[in-house]
Amino acid sequence: MNDANPNLSGCPRVNDGFRLQWEPAQDCHVLLYPEGMVKLNLSAGEILKRCDGKRSVADIVVELEQAFLTTGLLDETLAFLHLARQNKWVTWS
Amino acid sequence: MNAPESMVTPAMLSKSAPVINPPLWLLAELTYRCPLHCAFCYNPIDFASHKDELSTTDWLRVLREGRAMGAVQCGFSGGEPLLRDDLEILVTEARQLGYYTNLITSGVGLTEERAAQLKAAGLDHIQLSFQDSTREINDFITHTKTFGLKQAVARVVKSNGWPMVINVVIHRLNIEHIGRIIEMAAELDAEYLELANTQYYSWAHLNRDQLLPTQEQLIRAEQETNRWREKLGDKMRIFFVSPDYHEAKPKKCMNGWGNVFLTITPDGTALPCHTALMLPGLAFPNVRDLGLKEIWFDSEGFNHYRGTGWMKEPCSSCEDKEKDLGGCRCQAYLLTQLHDVADPVCPKSPYHHLVQKIVAGADMRAASGANAAAPWGSEQDVHPLIFRGPKESLSLVGKGKKA
Ligand code: SF4
Ligand code: SF4
């Protein structure tokens, strides 16, 4: 599954060595990794925090759409996960 | 231990004054003691006269105060941090506070047992320094017999599931081995390899003439690195930190003075950068006397070079002043004995010819076939390599050397 494109049934999770956490001082989610960090914007944080290796991409999209009372988040989610995988932030279980 | 500076992601960059952001990095230099004797060591030359290390209780307080301010990355370095028996206690606390915990080590002392304890303490990552791909140069430059041990330690790191950054300081004695060094790091399964060209401060500055590579060596090294990048793909990320002297481009030192990094030395002095202690006339507070918050936001030492207000010409009217903030204060001082002038690596600096002369000197020595292992015949100004050690430190202090 590792090298496949993100698809709806795959279950992404935050990769080993990376840690996602909420930082009150920065008022955002950050992704921490060896000697560095990325500040995440709202949607990136909301997606990543659901990447637990149990929820599928489809589950995540449904949850996000419910949480933000909207529809049509699939493309944005897939695009972000694609980027996240390229950066090794996530892997697929 | 040059890594943090270069591995900061763009997301960490923030604008210089007037707004003072809290530090993102807390660098705890736990001790200056070290079993190695690297000829490029970045610890201060007078390290042996700083004996009074902070207690466990002091460090725990520093960790808490740093985290409360918003620091997220915590680096434990030295010297050799494994020489502190309380390392596990400090890592445990740092991890519980929510820091991402980095151990920056030579690997000496990282036994299976110690590794298991650090794993249990929640340590997130280990940066292991290597000196060369060959036993000969590793053992020569560190003045120890540690080559075999380092390979074994790399395996301990991997078997505990830690992501591993290998850091290799690059200089004239190992630059020709760069391909082999990359191959070695890939074989050891490192996630990141940092090829950090020597920065010429402290011990490296003393030994500059022997360590400085030629321009041509650097170009070849970078080409070789690019070949390996292509070959390895994303299996291992390679960072090549180019040297200031050859590049003629001042860097935004430490990502801005008092902007991202807060370093605490073994005796509790708080610094914007681990070499800033060399700058005369600047008072840096000690965590034994002041809270981290006052130190970071209010102290004279941290405010002095924040932003661009301190600048003189050519920096003050330069269009690049926000980009590099005038370069490195310590480099300016080491090369000109003035610390508020433009970094002399900048071509606009009136002292730039000093840097050009130094680089030309390396080319000349190469042309005459000289190398450090067999010091070059008749040149009177070149001394044999000085290895870092307590005895050497005390004797240099006696001669009035500080930086
Ligand atoms: S002697 Fe070498 S290993 Fe020890 S602190 Fe200095 S550079 Fe690091
Ligand atoms: S003159 Fe000063 S600000 Fe301009 S590029 Fe040189 S060091 Fe940077």
pTM of the model: 0.85
Chain B residues near residue A26 by CB distance under 8 angstroms = 70
CA distance B156 to chain A (A): 16
* Mean pLDDT value across chain B: 84
Task: Give the pLDDT band (50/70/90) at residue B18.
Answer: low
Tell me the sheet residues that pair with A36: A33
Closest CA to B243 of B272, B208, B212: B212
In a domain, A50, yes or no: yes
What's residue B122's pLDDT? 95
Please check whether residue B254 is in contact with residue B260, taking contact to mean a CB–CB distance below 8 angstroms.
yes
SS3 percent helix, strand, coil of chain B, rounded to 5, is 40, 10, 45
Q: Under an 8 A CB cutoff, do B11 and A39 touch?
A: yes
Distance between CA B169 and CA B111 in Å, rounded?
24
Task: Give the pLDDT band (50/70/90) at residue B383.
Answer: low
**How far does Cα B351 stand from its chain's mean position?**
24
Ligand 1: which atom is nearest the Cα of residue B142?
A: 2
Q: Under an 8 A CB cutoff, do A88 and B234 touch?
A: yes
Q: Under an 8 A CB cutoff, do A37 and B11 touch?
A: yes
- Joined tokens for residue B378: 């008749």
Total number of domains constituting chain A: 1
Q: Mean of the pLDDT values across residues A6-20? A: 87
In a domain, A6, yes or no: no
Q: Under an 8 A CB cutoff, do B100 and A37 touch?
A: yes
Compare CB distances from B72 to A17, A32, A88 and report the shortest one's residue: A32
Q: From atom 6 of ligand 1, which residue's Cα is the shortest distance away?
A: B41
Q: What CATH code is carried by the domain that includes residue B90? A: 3.20.20.70
Higher pLDDT: B81 or B281? It is: B81
* pLDDT above 90: residue B23: yes
Q: Mean of the pLDDT values across residues B349-355? A: 85
In a domain, B328, yes or no: no
In a domain, A1, yes or no: no
Q: What range defines the domain where residue A68 resides?
A: 14-88
Chain A residues near residue B7 by CB distance under 8 angstroms = 34-36
Q: Mean of the pLDDT values across residues B384-403? A: 75
In a domain, A3, yes or no: no
Please check whether residue B276 is in contact with residue B282, taking contact to mean a CB–CB distance below 8 angstroms.
yes
* Mean pLDDT value across chain A: 88
Higher pLDDT: B1 or B103? It is: B103
**How far does Cα B186 stand from its chain's mean position?**
23
Write the ipTM: 0.81
Backbone angles phi, psi at B202, to 5 degrees: 45, -125
Q: What range defines the domain where residue B209 resides?
A: 25-253
State whether residue A52 is helix, strand or coil: strand
Distance between CA B232 and CA B183 in Å, rounded?
9
What's residue B97's pLDDT? 97
What's residue B272's pLDDT? 92
Q: How many CB atoms lie within 10 A of CB A9?
A: 9
The interface residues of chain B toward chain A in range 47-76, judged by CB-CB distance below 8 A, are 69-70, 72-73, 75
* pLDDT above 80: residue A54: yes
Q: What CATH code is carried by the domain that includes residue A28? A: 1.10.10.1150
Closest CA to B167 of B145, B148, B149, B150: B150
- The position carrying tokens 């321009």 is B215
What's residue B173's pLDDT? 83
Half-sphere exposure (CA, 13 Å, Cβ side) for B247?
14
Give CA separation, B23 vs A29, B301, B323, in Å. Answer: 17, 15, 19
Q: What angle do CA B169, B136, B245 make, to 5 degrees?
A: 30
Task: Give the pLDDT band (50/70/90) at residue B370.
Answer: low
Distance between CA B238 and CA B226 in Å, rounded?
9
Total number of domains constituting chain B: 1
Q: Is the C-beta atom of B27 inside 6 A of ligand 2?
A: no
In a domain, B349, yes or no: no
In a domain, A18, yes or no: yes
- The position carrying tokens 């110690």 is B114
* pLDDT above 80: residue B114: yes
CB distance from B20 to chain A under 8 Å?
Answer: no
* pLDDT above 90: residue B68: yes
**pLDDT tens digit string along B159-204?**
999 988 999 999 888 888 888 889 888 988 998 999 988 888 887 7
Q: Which residues contact B207 (CB under 8 A, 6 or more apart)?
A: B39, B40, B385, B386
Q: At what angle do helices B215-232 and B352-367 cross, to 10 degrees?
A: 80
The interface residues of chain A toward chain B in range 13-52, judged by CB-CB distance below 8 A, are 16-17, 19, 21, 23-26, 30, 32-39
- Joined tokens for residue B101: 């915990």
In a domain, B380, yes or no: no
Distance between CA B15 and CA B19 in Å, rounded?
8
Task: Give the pLDDT band (50/70/90) at residue B265.
Answer: very high
Higher pLDDT: B249 or B87? It is: B87
Q: Mean of the pLDDT values across residues B114-138? A: 88
